[in-house]
Structure 1
Amino acid sequence: MQYRHLLASTLLAAAGFAQAQDLVILPAPADAWRVTVGHWESQAELKGGGVVAPTPKADYASASHAGASAHVTAGRRDALTFEWRDLWQSMLRVESRSPMDLRPFAGGTLEFDLHVAELDKGGLSVKVGCGSGCERAVNLIDPARGWTGKGWQHVALSMSCFVRDGADFSAVTLPFALEATGSGRVSVANVRIGRAAKPGLACPDYRSESVTPALLNESWSIDWWRPRHEQKLQEKRQLVAAGTPPEVVFIGDSITQGWEKEGREVWQRHFAPLHGLALGFGGDRTENVLWRLQHGEIDGIAPKAVVLMIGTNNTGHRAENPETTAAGIKRLLDEIRQRLPQAQVLLLAVFPRGEKPDDVLRGINQRVNNIIQGYADGRSVHFLDIGAALLQPDGTLSKAVMPDLLHPNERGYEIWQRAMAPTLDKLMGTAR
């Protein structure tokens, strides 16, 4: 029997055609939904009892695994098990075979039962589609790790957690997905979306997320992020104690952290003589940098200049509204000016990402840049866009400069330093 999901007035209940207020995703007939498992490179469809996705081609993922299996009773899938290993991104997706109108459920509740068998080295989020190219996630890493080995747990999330300005719930093909990182194994059952809201299911206001200080809470960051913060506090103290306080401070995400890796030789030539301090943390978004600044990373020093570049993870992680990311950057500028009132701040445009000029995430970054250039006052905050120096004449981004089309290699850091030098030298009073 072929099932169609009719959401205007009549929905399928698990047992057959019946009036229902809920959209029942599990349990469901095996052919009711298209279930896939995979990662950033490929997915495989679950058609029988189990399936394993092809292994990613990259050497670092050669031992990875992403697979799914179904518990089936009388032709119906009662539960799905999702297992992944050594993957920075993997997903279990339950997709509709035709677009559905989820607008009647936008104020309702997503509920499901979750059994966490293993998650000590992994992270877990739940996703719902919100239109073409639009998916929103809720991070479950903290509660899910606490549920490990404790049997089935009931989860209820307000659908408002997945709603953003500009979302289109009129034609959704992804009513439910699990996205995971690291390694883990979970099972999910009794998945449904109800029209009615439930009390006590609050969601953080996504419009203020970028300006609300927070630790970076991802499976791959938990073990090192806070220790790195402590390490940077100690590095700063050592510079001050040696009588060589930093004259320049770089603040940002993994691209700034790269001065300690791919850009190390360039840093040693140009910024080590200035006792430079690199405060770059991989994965950081504006709210994470704000937390670090409020917890001492730039206190007790008086650099001549601060170089700030942040925002590409707001884009990549959340596909965030450019105005929201820009608000986070403005909040950081205010924090820096408060703590380092004598420093000149060089605000860099967010670097281009993606191979082609029409890359969606690059476009978001550019819209962020269009806003934040207005934050420069020409006195203490100065804006510089060196993106053109990183691009080919046709606007493409070369892997010879950014091998993953996001992070510079040594050549990329050389280009960054050369393009920035005239402005930074002037701000530091060292222009020749």
Structure 2
Amino acid sequence: MQSRFQTLLFATLFASTGLVCAQDLTILPAPADAWRITVGHWDAQVELTGDGVAAPPPKAEYARNAYAGASARSNNGRRDALLFDWRDLWQSTLRVESRSPLDLRPYAGGTLEFDLDVSELSHGGLSVKVGCGSGCERGVNLIEPARSWTGKGWQHVALSMSCFARQGADFSAVTLPFALEGTGSGRVSVANVRIGRDAKPGLACPDYRTESVTPAMLNESWSIDWWLPRHKEKLEEKRKLLEAGTPPQIVFIGDSITQGWEKEGREVWQHHFAPLHGLALGFGGDRTENALWRLQHGEIDGIAPQAVVLMIGTNNTGHRAEAPETTAAGIKRLLDEIRQRLPKAQVLLLAIFPRGEKPDDGQRQLNQAINKLIAGYADSRSVHFLDIGAALLQPDGTLSKDIMPDLLHPNERGYEIWQRAMAPTLQKLMGQTP
């Protein structure tokens, strides 16, 4: 939720300029050449210079039939509205960019407003973004309200500009005052986009300072259909283990990298952890708050494993470029939840795996900063920290696609390395002889 602190933070980021904004910043309607409008995806962005344009499809074979396009509704040389159309894409964008940097600081306590007409979003998601400095963009997820507006005509949207503020953001030279990001498939129109100086009632947005520690289901277009059913399947898997008299001796908690024990790492799992009746509670896309929701809804209740392996946080990094301290707080909250529900288990807290090809990859550096913080959570009694990142890297610090083909998720060889690097510590924690 928005808070007085956020408003003050945004004012601090924007203030002390001596500038007075005489009027709202109008983005639409506007002359055709007023803004640089582009549409596309991770592989290509194309500019809308006429009435309509489509981006070339992504290069990946699985996305060759995907589509992202935009068109403009114009009147006397002015663009009144934009249509954004996308299909079968995990990420697509409609971006309205300024041809010269804008100083948005005078809009500290203001509101981003626009009208939205949702034609189709049953298999898609939508968020709105505003730039916050070089390489910085902040978004607000609109999937729930936007889906509820499908087929209902134009809806007015208002969001406090504080929704797009974070500590360290710089709004003095913004080139992206407005963007829509679509996932899956969808079709929406947008009009009457403006940033006003005055605060107005509008949609709530998460407090970035507490998002990582606030339990929540994973609410993305690509997760809605399977996330909660998978949670229920894991509850049933646990029930069957207990009913068979083979309660899990080891539990893994995490995101898609942990879920990979059921796919790329399946053979390794069957050999080393299936004999321990292991329970793999990995969910693709999960951030710390999503794993916390799952734990609070029964996934580790009623069992008493000898060991719990926890690794999570890379999606906090990748999804919202979260400050290391915030992600670390989410991991600490998970440890507290595990200790409360499984007081006798030994917890092996793993450092987040390296990601990106080179050591200077921005997201890898964020993960390393998180790892330095969470290492301090180990107490050598019930919580133990282990960093196996070096075992996954080449001597020069690069990450090989022979181990992580997408530079994030291990393949079978990667899971073999993970198991070997972890084995001595796990054997010790579980009272086994190496």
Instruction: Return the TM-score normalized by structure 2.
Output: 0.95
Aligned match of 1:16: none
Say which of 24, 42, 65 aligns to 2:44: 42
Show the counterpart of 2:12. none
Q: Which residue, out of 104, 110, 113, partners 1:102?
A: 104
CA RMSD after TM alignment: 1.2
Q: What letter corresponds to residue 54 of structure 1 in structure 2? A: P
Q: Name the residue aligned to 1:55.
A: 57
**Contact 2:356 2:364 (C-alpha < 8 Å) held by counterparts:** yes
Q: Which has the higher contact order (CA 8 A, sep 6+)?
A: 2
Equivalent in 262, 271, 274 of residue 260 of structure 1: 262
Q: In the TM superposition, what is the alpha-carbon distance from 1:21 to its structure 2 partner?
A: 1.6
By how many angstroms is 1:72 displaced?
1.0
Of 278, 283, 286, 1:284 maps to 286
Deviation string, structure 1 residues 235-276 (Cα, Å, up to 9, x no partner): 001001101100000000000000000000000010001000
Structure 1 residue 423, shift from structure 2 partner:
0.6
Task: Name the structure 1 match of 2:140.
Answer: 138
Provide closer, same or farther for how the CA distance between residues 145 and 46 of structure 1 changes in structure 2, counting only shifts above 3 A: same
Counterparts of 1:189 and 1:201 in 2: how far apart (Å)?
18
Select which of 80, 83, 102 maps to 1:81. Answer: 83
Does structure 1 conserve the Cα–Cα contact (< 8 Å) formed by 2:19 and 2:106? no
Kindly provide the amino acid, as one letter, of the partner of residue 330 in structure 1.
K
C-alpha contact (below 8 Å) 1:210/1:328 kept by paired residues: yes
Query: Which residue is equivalent to 1:147?
Result: 149
| Residue of structure 1 equivalent to 2:131 | 129
**In the alignment, is the contact (CA less than 8 A) between 1:160 and 1:203 conserved in 2?**
no
| Runs (5+) with no aligned partner, structure 1 | 1-6, 12-19
Q: In the alignment, is residue 430 of structure 1 matched against residue 432 of structure 2?
A: yes
* 2:88 partner SS: strand
Structure 2 match to 1:68? 70
Q: Distance in 2 between matches of 1:59 and 1:202?
A: 39
Aligned residues: percent identity? 83
Aligned to 2:209, the other structure's residue is in SS state helix
Deviation at 1:106, TM superposition (A): 2.5
Could you tell me which residue of structure 2 aligns to residue 27 of structure 1?
29
CA pair 117-200 structure 1, distance change in 2 beyond 3 A: closer
**Stretches of structure 2 lacking an aligned partner (at least 5 in a row):** 1-16
Q: Would you say the 8 A contact 1:114–1:153 is kept in 2?
A: yes
CA contact (8 A) 2:113 2:158 kept: yes
Report what 1:180 is aligned to.
182
The answer as to 2:299 corresponding to 1:297 is: yes
Q: Residue type matched to 2:332 in 1?
A: K
Shift of 1:199: 3.9
Counterpart Cα distance in 2 of 1:356 and 1:179? 28
Shift of 1:313: 0.4
> Counterparts in 2 of 1:295-334, with a 5 A limit?
295-334=297-336
Number of the residue aligned with 1:407: 409
Shift of 1:204: 2.5
Q: 2:364 aligns with which of 362, 367, 388?
A: 362
TM-fit CA distance, 1:201:
5.2
SS at match of 1:207: coil
Residue 340 of structure 2 aligns with which residue? 338
What is aligned with 1:238? 240
User: Which consecutive segments of 4 or more residues in structure 1 shift more than 4 A?
Assistant: 7-11
